[in-house]
Amino acid sequence: MILRAKHNFLVYPFFKRYAVWIIKRHFKEIRVIGDYTINERSLLLISNHISWWDGFWAMFLNVKIFKKKFHFMMLEEQLRKYWFFNYTGGFSVSKRSKSIVETLNYTSDLLNDNRNMVLIFPQGEIQTMHNQKFEFEKGLERILKNKENSIQIIFLASLVDFFSNSKPSIYLYLSEFNVIVLSVESIQSKYNEFYSQCVEKQMKLIVEE
């Protein structure tokens, strides 16, 4: 049985403020780059997974831009260890358990509500941001089944650079994904293309700094 997301009336508002505060404390700046529109549909945010910070950066985007009810998938053992994340929208996934089907169905159900945003890391694990070839896990297909016209999908690529500063800066690249037929293969291909473009843009920033 999975741990379903909860939004405690005290913990959830605190976490939203805390995410913004801790980012401003530990990073020189945060830049949001990309073309996208915000509409009334539910939002699936597909992101690379490079660090412990990823969820905080996504929450920052939600507070500043998306303004949805925040949900995110988290490994069950980690969610039990850091139980307070359950009260900020975290729900569990256990890859080696039959409950993974329940998690995927639950994620799909969340996206039936236009007020919701769901963050997922389809790589399934933390990987270096220098990786430019992503292989998405097949569970994404079950989440997206019959949702071609009912949800909004936005790609997120998180990159970090110091340049000549003592604190790093965060670069959050966003791009809206539009396709007639949803499939893991099409999303994986488009995300790989998007990420490569983000890295190219980031390399040009080095020249400008």
Query: Which pLDDT tens digits describe the chain residue by residue (209 residues)?
Result: 899 999 999 999 999 999 999 999 999 999 999 988 888 999 999 999 999 999 999 999 999 999 999 999 998 999 999 999 999 999 999 877 788 999 999 999 999 999 999 999 988 788 889 888 898 888 888 898 888 778 999 999 999 999 889 999 999 999 999 866 678 888 999 999 999 999 999 988 865 55
What span, in angstroms and rounded, lies between the C-alpha atoms of 90 and 174? Answer: 22
Three-class secondary structure of residue 90 per DSSP? strand
- In degrees and rounded to multiples of 5, residue 20 shows phi and psi of -65, -40
Determine the residue type at 184: V
Question: Which residue from 121, 115, 28, 100 is spatially nearest to 70, judged by alpha carbons?
Answer: 115
CA torsion 106-91-74-63 (nearest 10°) is: 100
Predicted pLDDT of residue 201? 93
HSE-up (13 A, CA, CB side) for residue 112: 9
Indicate the burial class of 190 (C-beta count within 10 angstroms; 0-12, 13-18, 19 or more): middle
What span, in angstroms and rounded, lies between the C-alpha atoms of 206 and 158? Answer: 16
Full set of structural domains in the chain with CATH: 11-208 (3.40.1130.10)
Q: Residues near 185 by Cβ (< 8 Å), separated by ≥ 6?
A: none
CB 176 within 8 A of CB 191: no
HSE-up (13 A, CA, CB side) for residue 50: 18
Three-class secondary structure of residue 91 per DSSP? strand
Output DSSP code: residue 137: -
Using alpha carbons, list the distances in angstroms from residue 137 to 12, 95, 187: 29, 11, 11
